[in-house]
Amino acid sequence: MNTAGMSGGSDSGSGAGPGADRDRDLVSALAGKQAGREQAVAYRTRRVVLASHGVMQNQKAGRKRSRALALASILLMVVALGPFVWRVTDDIISGDHWGDVATQSCLWTSILMPALVAAALVAGWLRQRP
Q: Is residue 100 part of a domain?
A: yes
Q: Is residue 2 part of a domain?
A: no
Mean pLDDT in residue range 61-90: 85
Residue 48 is part of which domain span? 16-128
| Helix-strand-coil split of the chain, %, nearest 5 | 80, 0, 20
pLDDT at 56: 92
CA distance 30 to 22: 12
pLDDT at 7: 46
Q: Is residue 9 part of a domain?
A: no
Total structural domains in the chain?
1
Residue that wins the pLDDT comparison between 109 and 28? 109
Q: Is residue 46 part of a domain?
A: yes
pLDDT at 95: 79
Q: Is residue 67 part of a domain?
A: yes
